[in-house]
Amino acid sequence: MLFADSIFLFIFLPLAILCYHGLGLLARKRLRNCILLLFSYLFYSIGAPKFFIFLLFSTTVDYILGLAITRYRRYARLWVAASVAVNLGLLVYFKYADFLLTGLNPVLSFLGLNHILWSNTVLPIGISFFTFQKLSYILDIYRRHAKSANNFIDFSLYVSMFPQLIAGPIVRFKDICNQLNHRSNSWEEFHSGILRLCWGLSKKVLLADACGQIADAVFALDPAMLDTKTAWLGALAYTFQIYFDFSAYSDMAIGLARMFGFELPENFKRPYSAVCLTDFWRRWHISLGAWFRDYVYFPLGGNKKKPLRTYANLFIVFCLCGLWHGANWTFLAWGLYHGFFLMIERITDLRNLLRVKYSWISRMITFLIVVFGWVLFRADSLTDAAAFIKVMIIPGHLPMPYELYKAMHPRNLTFFLLGCIFVTGAGLLPTGEQIIRTHGRRKQAFSAIMIFIVLPYCAAFVLQGTDQPFIYFRF
Amino acid sequence: MRYFFSCVFVVMLMTPALTFLENLAPDEACLIESPGFDLNALKEPDYYQAWHTYLKRKLSCFSTLTRLKKWTDYCFFNIPDNPAVHAGRKGWLFKAESVKDYRKQACDKKNIARKLILELQALTRLNEINGRLFLFCPIPNKSTIYPEFVGGIPKSVNCRYSFYDLLLNESEDHHLPGFLRLDKIFKKAKQNQIQVFEENGPAPAKKGVGIAAQAILEYLYKNHTSIFADDDLKSRLLANTNFSVKNNPGATQGPLSKGFSTALIYGSPDIGQLLPALTHRFDRIDIVMSRTIPSSAHSENPAEYKVVIIAVPEYQLAEIHIDIDRLCKLYGADQHSVRKANIPGSAVSAGKHLSLENKDNQIVIKSLGEKSFFNFPALPGSDKKTLRFVKIPISSPQADTLTWEIKTDKLFQGKRRLQPGDTTIYLPVPQASRARISINPGMQTGLFRLKQSCVLELQAGFTRPGSGENYKPQAMPPVKNLKDSAFELNKRNTSAIAANPDAMLPPKIRLTGFEDGRIFQRHGKSADIVISGTYAGTPVAIEARVLHHSTKELVTDWTVIDNAPDAGVFMGILANVPQGGWYQIAVRFNNQPDIRDISESRWAVGILAACIGQSNMREWFYTGSGLKAHTLLSLHRHNKWQPENLGGNGAIAFGNRLINKLSIPVGLLDYAVNGSGLHKKADWGKGYWTDQSKTGIYNKFIQGVSSAGGAIEYIIWMQGEADAARSILTQNQYRQALMTFISNQIRSDIINGSHLKHLPILIVGMPKRPIGKDPSHQAVRDAQRAASNQIADCFLAAHSLDLSNLGRQHLAPEAYIELGLRTAQAVLYLMNEANYYQGPKIAEACRVSDDKIDITLNHRGGTDFAPDTGISGFEILQEKKSLPIFSVQRHNCRTIRILLKEPAAGSLKVRYLYGAMPGTSRPVRDNSPLELPLEPFQIVIQ
């Protein structure tokens, strides 16, 4: 189930709120986690019922291994290895086996060996997110950064809590363990959660989907029909779409969690106003960046060793980061592309040079690098990406294709331009959270607009059915 | 305020759920079924999807919110919610399709426009010679008349022609009588400040309709006299048709009551508004909403109407398909022709990849496939007075597609569908001094036979049948005397070297190999295999032999297949290749045995079974991965043999069972289409099987069969859910459609490869839906049963009602194994390799007492049945009310005893696996090895 779905909004969510707060009051908070867990499992089962067992199994394994690390410290490395093997093994099996075998079978043929027969597997929803979340739990316990969960329900809720189960943010156990048992539910937080949810919903339905329709129309065009302006329009539209789409999901996750008393970490901090790529990765998908930093980059030596080693580490991290998004050469190329520019930044020290004096230039350059990167990310193949980038670079003029014209209707155009304003004026405009946290009449007006105008309009979109599911839902 | 906003938010979200069952439109209410609660279905995504759809439709806020959004979008963003509508400037609305047409990017359709003009000319003449009126009046697009309101549509730089523009261009070069340009008339009216289209509607406004109707009637009245040149005939026709010659042409609103008798209009719903303005001038108007003329779905005969009008909207012109062959037969082109000149067989010449041989007054064409073609000699073209047709009787070994090309100063191209056996093609010749015609007989390799072709001349105006004897036309030059380079080059009896420049090259032979994994349909216990290829050199004859692919054992020894290879092409039939496989083939020169070629691909001779229907049939190939396909099992899909892609429990179980029992290869043709209906009404966007249009799913299937050789031994049909959905069809409609489909389509287009008289159709029953009430499904099941009883060699081969379901529609993977085995058993039964294929059948039902009913069974494969107790699936009804059953259990090996909870007097209806959702937890199955189920029944007992 997705947040931008009528059943979620009109049946699942009100039912979850009523049961959680109603029964939670009656049972004096003891049942709150149970209720939330039940709803989380229901949320996961709807649409992917057979993976529920898989989720339960992998949660149980990590719970037991977490306890084992705490209780049998002598064999801690063994338990960690077991957990990493199970988690990454399942991830590789479900997500990368097809990809690996596609590359392996030609090699086997060349060596005169039989092909490995393989039927395509269906990817369990959210596997990349909850696998990383569980790995962070095990590694934190091993490093003594966190204590193991004593209660299976608490741990299961940490893994499967529906606001962040499918597309993050990737929450660390140490950040949330206190909230699992000692959280307070206040009207203030509930209200701000509602506003954050509506904010996210409107971002998704109005901005992301509008940009998405334009991007889809451009990327679906025959390469012969692409010219420079159309290609740039498509690249920009996708750049905005992926940001609004994913940050909308994060906003909705944070808002929903807040309605149930949890405070999840922010996942985005105006990434397109970054002054360099290093800065970009501190603002984009913060929880994933931090995960790779803490559990891959630093253990490899980070930047504490020789420069060559640092560059190699960067390459490894971004290669993995690219692959995390999916088993495809385009994702790998996207990761390496970012790794390459980060390395260049380090070698030339451009990130420090431009940061203060020429911040608008560095912002623009960073933004352009990111835009080209998204073309790699969005294209179906590297050949398509190369052809698309070529059209972006080599000027050409063709009439606007009709398919694009149809997508460029006044509503999409309005929201696309609004998206441009939000992105370019990011430094001058307040963030959603800042608006939500205002007081007095401003907040009342904002609440009224969100609940009485934006919510029904977005709900109508949702009811009609959107053909643009969340992008990160696929990862 | 935070309390207020929080509460409002929760209430707003809850309102739709709270008012759950209210605010439903009555017409929707009957269509929505609750999926119900089913524990077994919980693990299936389809079940959740069913609930999802149900709840979404039931949400009371759905219509209110969507209406609100539509209003907002239209008012603020000028967007119509319906993607079929385009909003232009100043709120003007257009049909999106017509606006797409307005983009003027039709340059690649020049050939279609040219062909359409040619066909329209032919249709006009066919009507004329029969004393009928024909009118072609495309309804102009609103955007053509009012381009200023369309909005900023991007226009192409390279092509600035719409299809209509192309048609107009072509009509300038090729005069088209009967072409009424409503666009000119509308534009003129627009200049006179008359608004011919509504601002907010796609159809013409009242005034526009009046103008169009007036123009049409004016045209008809003005032109009808030109048809009837013969005074006698005119008076006779006038007496019959009851119309006045001296009517004031423009008086459409006057008191005149007399008009034309009957009219046939081909159009679309767009012409709806035009009809009231026309109907008063006709005794009867029939409207056919089809762009295929004559329509394949209706049985109209245009030759029976006094007036035939094509009034298709401008944006649909490119989709018009005129079936000239059928029209020529309906209008009697042969009988009305004033002159008929035979084309001598010797004047027909071979083009590339093809050889011709005159034999028994017909030409045997050895065609290597889509690149092959032969030429007719240069023929006289048509002119304004005389329209010439080339009549080409051709015989094809399989259903195929013939491609024609006519060269004058322009090029005309088109395609025709060939039936297996004889087909007569009528090609209208364009207006030119001379025309040269090239024909590709078929996309597949094969031996075609061209019978006596001729040129028919049709004169302008009414022509009495057989009047050609007294007609003295302009002398048509005899075709054999025409100078034609192709004819000169390809004269028979020239030496092989002269005809074949390749003969000077070093000798070599190249075999046209078969697709790897191909299975040829057997006839009896062997098959005749067409072998073809090319060569260089001077072979006296070509020989071929067949070897086992793996063991290289000889299957058939060297046999001459072509004793007169010609023009570098050889082709022949290797007769009686025994069933079996895998094989490979070798060919050689018989006078130079070292010149040989051998194909590496594997092929076989065996049974071909085509699997068609909808998703449950398709799932045979996609659900389940537990079985391994036998090495002799092959798959044909998307017009290609692809044995490596064979998967799915149903297909493998079916194929493996047949191979294990018969030890011959089996090829399965997978052409089922998810969600496809049988009847036109059941077209939910995935197509329907009775649709014979070029792009329809049926035609794709026939193309697939054709590429597999054209002959099939069994057709397996598992379909019906789409037709049962939403209760749109009655039992009779489905039965009729199925009978027409089998008799008029499948059995006429596919060669029967079986030993039975007709191509056997094996119907596999629809599975039970796990949830909801389904009387409409029962109607389809009954229709299938009735059709199987009425159609010869059509069998209800397997039941699936007792098998476990997956979600709402599909069976569980293991159930497909059962179904595959049951269907294979039916095939074996038809081959006399098994004694039965059906489970027990009810013999009688009788009351033992008021609360006891005995059901007596007739066993077919088994001798007893299971389970002993707790049998499910029975229902006892009294006056439509279900009576509670205490127990259903085995009484003896032939009797089931039903014990009611309470005694019930009077007549009762006993049903088993019938009607609404029957229980199938413990169905009755016999003790035969396949454990076949008791057949569903309904019986009334007193």
Q: Do residues B750 and B711 touch, judged by C-beta distance below 8 A?
A: yes
Looking at the fold, whether B176 and B291 belong to one and the same domain comes out as yes
For residue B390, what is the enclosing H or E element? strand B386-396
DSSP state of B138: P
B892 interfaces chain A, CB cutoff of 8 Å: no
Tokens 């962040």 identify what position? Answer: A164
Whether B42 is in a domain gets the answer yes
3-state DSSP call for residue B486? helix
B254: pLDDT strictly greater than 70: no
8 Å CB contact of A14 and B3: no
Chain A, chain B: beta-carbon pairs less than 8 Å apart: 114
Q: Which of B75-84, B424-433, B505-514 has the lowest mean pLDDT?
A: B75-84
8 Å CB contact of A191 and B103: no
8 Å CB contact of B69 and A405: no
Name the minimum distance, in Å, from the CA of A225 to any CA of chain B.
11
Residue B480 confidence class, pLDDT cut points 50, 70, 90 = very low
Distance between CA atoms of A285 and B260, rounded to whole angstroms?
A: 76
Q: Which of B119-123, B139-143, B334-338, B464-468 has the lowest mean pLDDT?
A: B464-468
Name the minimum distance, in Å, from the CA of A200 to any CA of chain B.
15
What are the tokens at B814? 């293991």
Contacts of B625 in chain A (CB under 8 A): 119
What pLDDT score does B148 carry?
86
CATH number for the domain harbouring residue B672: 3.40.50.1110
pLDDT per position as a tens digit, B268-322 = 777 777 777 777 778 888 888 888 888 876 778 898 888 899 998 888 898 888 9
Degrees, nearest 5: CA angle B104-B105-B110? 105
Looking at the fold, whether B261 and B120 belong to one and the same domain comes out as yes
Closest residue of chain B to A409, computed from CA coordinates: B79
Residue B53 confidence class, pLDDT cut points 50, 70, 90 = low
pTM for the structure as a whole: 0.66
pLDDT per position as a tens digit, B833-844 = 988 999 999 988
What pLDDT score does B497 carry?
36
Total tally of structural domains belonging to chain B: 6
Looking at the fold, whether B611 and B584 belong to one and the same domain comes out as no
Mean pLDDT of B491-508: 51
Last residue of a domain, one of B543, B567, B601: B601
Amino acid at A187: W
Which of 146-175 (B) contact A at CB < 8 A? Answer: 152-157
- Asked if residue A169 has a cis previous peptide bond (ω within 30° of 0), the answer is yes
What pLDDT score does A379 carry?
87
Residue A28 confidence class, pLDDT cut points 50, 70, 90 = low
Distance between CA atoms of B168 and B179, rounded to whole angstroms?
A: 10
Contacts of A401 in chain B (CB under 8 A): 154
Last residue of a domain, one of B554, B578, B601: B601
pLDDT per position as a tens digit, A394-418 = 888 877 787 788 788 888 888 899 8
More confident position, B253 or A297: A297
What pLDDT score does B798 carry?
92
For residue B897, what is the enclosing H or E element? strand B895-900
Looking at the fold, whether B320 and B423 belong to one and the same domain comes out as no
Looking at the fold, whether B299 and B203 belong to one and the same domain comes out as yes
What are the tokens at A362? 């560095």
Q: Do residues B133 and B124 touch, judged by C-beta distance below 8 A?
A: no
Percent of chain B at pLDDT exceeding 90: 22
Catalytic residue (one of A145, A325, A338, A439): A325
Whether B221 is in a domain gets the answer yes
Instruction: Provide the mean pLDDT of chain B.
Output: 81
What pLDDT score does A109 carry?
67
Among B185, B235, B233, which residue's Cα sits nearest to residue B209?
A: B185
Mean pLDDT of B736-756: 88
Name the minimum distance, in Å, from the CA of B105 to any CA of chain A.
10
> From the centroid of its chain, how far is CA B791?
20
Residues of A with CB under 8 A from a CB of B: 6-7, 9-11, 13-15, 17-18, 45-50, 119, 187-188, 190-191, 194, 398-402, 405, 409-411, 414, 443-444, 447-448, 451, 455-457, 459-461, 463-464
Residue B796 confidence class, pLDDT cut points 50, 70, 90 = very high
Among B332, B325, B291, B282, which residue's Cα sits nearest to residue B310?
A: B291
pLDDT per position as a tens digit, B196-228 = 888 887 778 888 888 888 888 888 877 665 444
Among A1, A8, A9, A11, which would you mutate to test the B interface (most chain B Cβ atoms within 10 Å of its Cβ)? Answer: A11
What pLDDT score does B26 carry?
38
What pLDDT score does A471 carry?
67
Among B368, B532, B512, which residue's Cα sits nearest to residue B444?
A: B368
Q: Which of A21-30, A372-381, B451-460, B559-568 has the lowest mean pLDDT?
A: A21-30
Contacts of A105 in chain B (CB under 8 A): none
Number of H helices, E strands in chain B: 24, 50
8 Å CB contact of A411 and B16: no
Whether B30 is in a domain gets the answer yes
Q: Do residues A294 and A173 touch, judged by C-beta distance below 8 A?
A: no
Residue B710 half-sphere exposure toward CB, CA atoms < 13 A: 22
**Facing residues of B910 across strands?**
B876, B939
CATH number for the domain harbouring residue B369: 2.60.120.260
A79: pLDDT strictly greater than 80: yes
3-state DSSP call for residue B453? coil
B33: pLDDT strictly greater than 70: no
B229: pLDDT strictly greater than 60: no
pLDDT per position as a tens digit, B699-717 = 889 889 888 888 899 999 9
What are the tokens at B486? 């192709």
Looking at the fold, whether B715 and B783 belong to one and the same domain comes out as yes
Q: Which of A159-168, A415-424, B3-12 has the lowest mean pLDDT?
A: B3-12
Among A272, A268, A219, A258, which residue's Cα sits nearest to residue A407?
A: A219
Whether B906 is in a domain gets the answer yes
Distance between CA atoms of B639 and A44, rounded to whole angstroms?
A: 41
What pLDDT score does A357 carry?
66
Contacts of A411 in chain B (CB under 8 A): 73, 76-77, 79
Distance between CA atoms of A354 and A362, rounded to whole angstroms?
A: 6
Q: B594: domain range?
A: 501-601
| Residue B385 neighbours by CB distance under 10 Å | 12
Q: Give φ, ψ of B157 to 5 degrees.
A: -80, -40
Tokens 């059962």 identify what position? Answer: B818
Distance between CA atoms of A180 and A187, rounded to whole angstroms?
A: 19
B43: pLDDT strictly greater than 80: no
Whether B448 is in a domain gets the answer yes
B27: pLDDT strictly greater than 60: no
3-state DSSP call for residue B816? helix
What pLDDT score does B606 carry?
94
What pLDDT score does B565 carry?
81
Name the minimum distance, in Å, from the CA of A2 to any CA of chain B.
12
B16 interfaces chain A, CB cutoff of 8 Å: yes
More confident position, B732 or A305: B732
Last residue of a domain, one of B830, B862, B887: B830
3-state DSSP call for residue B432? coil
Question: Do you know the residue count of chain A?
Answer: 475
Distance between CA atoms of B529 and B534, rounded to whole angstroms?
A: 17
Residue B239 confidence class, pLDDT cut points 50, 70, 90 = very low
Distance between CA atoms of A191 and B2, rounded to whole angstroms?
A: 6
> From the centroid of its chain, how far is CA B248?
46
Whether B532 is in a domain gets the answer yes
Name the minimum distance, in Å, from the CA of B840 to any CA of chain A.
37
What pLDDT score does A117 carry?
60
Q: Do residues B856 and B841 touch, judged by C-beta distance below 8 A?
A: no
8 Å CB contact of B2 and A457: no
More confident position, A23 or B557: B557
B45: pLDDT strictly greater than 70: no
Whether B81 is in a domain gets the answer no
Q: Do residues B636 and B704 touch, judged by C-beta distance below 8 A?
A: yes
What are the tokens at A188? 């203030």
Tokens 């159009």 identify what position? Answer: B267
Which of 619-648 (B) contact A at CB < 8 A? Answer: 625, 647
B56 interfaces chain A, CB cutoff of 8 Å: yes
Looking at the fold, whether B670 and B786 belong to one and the same domain comes out as yes
Looking at the fold, whether B936 and B899 belong to one and the same domain comes out as yes
A451: pLDDT strictly greater than 90: no
Mean pLDDT of B547-566: 87
Q: Do residues A280 and A274 touch, judged by C-beta distance below 8 A?
A: yes
Mean pLDDT of B837-865: 89
DSSP state of B868: S
A37: pLDDT strictly greater than 70: yes
pLDDT per position as a tens digit, A98-151 = 777 777 767 776 776 666 665 566 778 888 888 999 999 999 988 888 888 888
What pLDDT score does B465 carry?
63
8 Å CB contact of B2 and A187: yes
| Pairing assessment for the beta strands B307-311 and B434-440 based on DSSP bridges | unpaired
Give the closest of B2, B17, B105 to A191, CB-based.
Answer: B2
Looking at the fold, whether B652 and B763 belong to one and the same domain comes out as yes
Residue B57 confidence class, pLDDT cut points 50, 70, 90 = low
Looking at the fold, whether B355 and B422 belong to one and the same domain comes out as yes
B44 interfaces chain A, CB cutoff of 8 Å: yes
Whether B84 is in a domain gets the answer no
What pLDDT score does B772 carry?
52
| Residue B469 neighbours by CB distance under 10 Å | 7
Looking at the fold, whether B356 and B384 belong to one and the same domain comes out as yes
Any residues with CB less than 8 A from the CB of A150 and at least 6 apart, and which?
none
Among B296, B269, B293, B417, which residue's Cα sits nearest to residue B680?
A: B296
Residue A270 half-sphere exposure toward CB, CA atoms < 13 A: 19
| Residue A114 neighbours by CB distance under 10 Å | 8
- Asked if residue A187 has a cis previous peptide bond (ω within 30° of 0), the answer is no
Distance between CA atoms of B573 and B312, rounded to whole angstroms?
A: 48
What pLDDT score does B627 carry?
83
Contacts of B52 in chain A (CB under 8 A): 7, 46
Name the minimum distance, in Å, from the CA of B86 to any CA of chain A.
9
Residue B806 confidence class, pLDDT cut points 50, 70, 90 = low
Any residues with CB less than 8 A from the CB of B548 and at least 6 apart, and which?
B555, B582, B583, B584
Q: Does A145 participate in catalysis according to the annotation?
A: no
Distance between CA atoms of A151 and A67, rounded to whole angstroms?
A: 10
The crossing angle, in degrees rounded to 10, of helices A228-259 and A359-378 is: 90
B152: pLDDT strictly greater than 80: no
Reduce the secondary structure of chain A to three states and give it as a string: CCCCCHHHHHHHHHHHHHHHHHHHHHCCCCCHHHHHHHHHHHHHHCCCCHHHHHHHHHHHHHHHHHHHHHHCHHHHHHHHHHHHHHHHHHHHHHHHHHHHHHHHHHHHHHCCCCCCCCCCCCCCCCHHHHHHHHHHHHHHHHCCCCCCCCCHHHHHHHHHCHHHHCCCCCCCHHHHHHHHHCCCCCHHHHHHHHHHHHHHHHHHHHHHHHHHHHHHHHHCCCHHHCCHHHHHHHHHHHHHHHHHHHHHHHHHHHHHHHHCCCCCCCCCCCHHHCCCHHHHHHHCCHHHHHHHHHHHHHHHCCCCCCHHHHHHHHHHHHHHHHHHHCCCHHHHHHHHHHHHHHHHHHHHCHHHHHHHCCHHHHHHHHHHHHHHHHHHHHCCCHHHHHHHHHHHHCCCCCCCCHHHHHHCCHHHHHHHHHHHHHHHCCCCCCCHHHHHCCCHHHHHHHHHHHHHHHHHHHHHHHHHCCCCCCHHHHC
Q: Do residues B813 and B652 touch, judged by C-beta distance below 8 A?
A: no
pLDDT per position as a tens digit, B129-138 = 888 889 999 9
More confident position, B538 or A117: B538
pLDDT per position as a tens digit, B355-379 = 888 877 889 888 888 888 999 988 8
Looking at the fold, whether B701 and B819 belong to one and the same domain comes out as yes
B68 interfaces chain A, CB cutoff of 8 Å: yes
